[in-house]
Structure 1
Amino acid sequence: MESLEDLVRIKNTTNNDEEIIKFIIEKPEQVINMSIYNLAQATHTSTSSIIRFCKKCNYKGFKDFKISLIQCIDKEINDINNVDVNMPFRKNDTDLVIAKKISQLSIETIKATFNLLSSSKLQTAVDQIINANSVFAVGVGDNYIRLCDFKTKLLLINFYIKMTQLEDDQIRLTNLSTKKDVAIILSYSGETKKVLECAQKFFLNRTPIIAITSNEHSHLASLADQIFLIPNKENSKVSFSNFSSHVSIEYILNTIYSCMFSRNYLANCKYTQN
């Protein structure tokens, strides 16, 4: 099956052909739901211009052309894999292709993160959290948002973690920790200044640290008792957004929450339903 560009590639194009090609390339999913009259109106051409264009593409008419267009779109979507974590979509990608790429990126990220997990590490971390007198959580920016979602889930099973958004207050909060508590700390690089200040305070207080980071050789990792690694593929200089790291961190936190839930499954089921 040919690509979308190959599908509309013809020789000796007219101005009308150029308008039709441009519209099809930019909005292929929209075209498959359009009548020939709608397409003519959208491209400021005529139905006869569209029929001539389709025949130049070696199709009997617009209906035959749309069948190949649908097949072309399906193939392009189904062939998507190994999505670039820094630039997961391109300028000319259609909405549906972008949706597929983000979906594929999420799947690939979760698989890669799962492969970095171990049963013993999960069990130890979950036991530490459940048995701690208090649980502290530290993260800045987007990571704080991930922790807020984690905190909300834990409240559903009557489990509370201590955290605050203000960075100065985070430092003060660490002073309350003891060796009978546990701290969950998020930092993609493992070198975030404010996060490291908190980690060092926890370390001095002999508070066990569970770190989620992409860098096992970072300062944060060196202070942690348990390290949950996430894929280290993002480049902040060229990345559109931290899609991959967000998915990875949420996956780990959701896994920890689910394991905690399962420790007292029936009681937690009843609690969440009340």
Structure 2
Amino acid sequence: MNIFNKLNQLTSLTENEKILAKYMQNNPENFIKMSASEISDACFISTSTIYRLCQKLDLLGLSDLKIQVSSSINEYLNEKNVIDYNYPFNGNETQYEVILKMKELYEQTLISSLNLIDINQLNLISNALKDSKHIDFYTSAGNIYFAENFKFQMQEIGRLINVPIEEYHQRLTASSSDENHVAIIVSFEGRGAIM
């Protein structure tokens, strides 16, 4: 996983760790060339803050952190120049410009997805799915066709998926689930009340 994405997923950062993380994100090229004391001076933090952040990132120390930043820097800088997903097109763009922007949107989506995948978690999830007797797929109206397509594809490899569509059926399925069930929940940031 990209170190910058991993940083963004940390929720238990102290204020000084947040300052350090922001400095790394705003100055990645400089960060990898700096010593611990130079970083602490630039961020007005103690050097122990650097090492606490390394621990939270499951890294061995500053050298390991610099290696991670260095290997993630190109992807991170490309991601910073992303198109606004909510309003990707302008009214005055040509058809060719729209097509090129669509290509870029798909490429950025793939890169972002790749950066968020944790192979160890993916292995745990696939094993849980393989070992379960029942797989229940919960989603809201906007993703029902996606869920039905997933159900169809899983049936082609011999796995049956339950996709309860109506809210009552979803609640009933969830309340009657036990340790033999695995739930897959697709939600836009968990905003739906039922999710």
TM-score, normalisation: structure 1: 0.40
Bigger RCO of structures 1 and 2 (CA < 8 A, at least 6 apart): 2
Segments of structure 1 that go 5 or more residues without pairing to the other structure are: 1-80, 196-274
1:250-265 mapped onto 2 (5 Å cutoff): none
Q: Deviations over 1:140-169 (max 9, x none)?
A: 022222211111111111111111211111
Match of 1:128, SS?
helix
CA distance in structure 2 between the aligned counterparts of 1:160 and 1:140, rounded to whole angstroms: 20
Deviation per CA, 1:90-141: give whole Å up to 9, x if none.
Answer: 1011222112211211110110111011110000000001110100010002
Choose between structure 1 and 2: higher helix proportion: 2
What does residue 117 of structure 1 align with? 117
User: Residue 153 in 1 paired to residue 153 in 2?
Assistant: yes
Cross-structure match for 1:107: 107
1:134 partnered with 2:121: no
> Higher Cα Rg: structure 1 or 2?
1
The sequence identity of aligned pairs, in percent, is 23
Q: Secondary structure at the match of 1:85?
A: coil
Aligned residues: 115
User: What is the CA RMSD across the aligned residues, in angstroms?
Assistant: 1.4
Alpha-carbon distance in structure 1 between the residues aligned to 2:110 and 2:89:
19
Provide, for residues 57-78 of structure 1, a one-character-per-residue CA deviation record: whole Å limited to 9, x for no partner: xxxxxxxxxxxxxxxxxxxxxx
Question: Offset at 1:181?
Answer: 1.4
- Return the alpha-carbon distance in structure 2 between the equivalents of residues 117 and 91 of structure 1: 35
What amino acid is aligned across from residue 170 of structure 1 in structure 2? Q
1:240-255 correspondence to structure 2 within 5 Å? none
Find the counterpart in structure 1 of residue 172 from structure 2: 172
Gaps of 5+ in 2: 1-80
Specify the SS of the correspondent of 1:189: coil
Runs of 4+ more than 2 Å apart: none
Q: Distance in 2 between matches of 1:101 and 1:187?
A: 26
Partner of 1:183: 183
Q: What is the SS of the residue equivalent to 2:108? A: helix
| Structure 1 residues 1-274: aligned runs within 5 Å | 82-195=82-195
Q: How does the TM-score come out when normalised to structure 2?
A: 0.56
Hey, what's the Cα distance between the residues in 1 that align with 2:152 and 2:97?
A: 33
Give the SS at the match of 1:183.
Answer: strand
